[in-house]
Amino acid sequence: MPYTAHSLVNKLEEGIKEEDSDGKGVSHEFMIYLLKQQLLQYISYLITIIITSLRTCIINQHLERTIAALEWKQIIEYGKAKIKSNYMKMQERHIANLEKVLETSRISHEKLRNRLTSL
């Protein structure tokens, strides 16, 4: 229940009316007691709000850290995929070059064999 100055005054007035029901009046000690009681309830309410705010802040910080970690994980995974893709392209180029070398060596081997057979 949210506390306002109006609600605190109303509770104080209710306590005074209950005490003054016999018509004798209210002592200063009782007024001080009621004020202290209202003050303690208000302080308790404020502490509850502060604790709730701190919990929310902690949860938000945890979520921010989690999101940041997930973003870094995504960046790292993208980097790994990019490196793997580049490595595969490089291997394809090497394979193509090796196939060319094999083809030229096969052709030169055939030429040499043909020369030897012709001699």
pLDDT in the model for residue 28: 76
pLDDT of 73 higher than 90: yes
pLDDT in the model for residue 65: 96
- The better pLDDT of the pair 16, 57 is held by 57
Split at pLDDT 50, 70, 90, the class of 5 is low
pLDDT of 53 higher than 80: yes
Lookup: tokens for 14: 């209710």
Tell me: the pLDDT tens digits for 84-118? 999 999 999 999 999 999 999 999 999 999 988 88
Where do the domains of the chain lie? Answer: 5-118
Residue type, 33: Y
Dist. CA 3–CA 48, nearest whole Å: 12
pLDDT of 1 higher than 60: no
Helices marked H in the chain — which ranges?
A: 5-19, 28-118
pTM (2 d.p.): 0.53
Q: What's the sign of the alpha-carbon dihedral 101, 107, 111, 114? A: positive
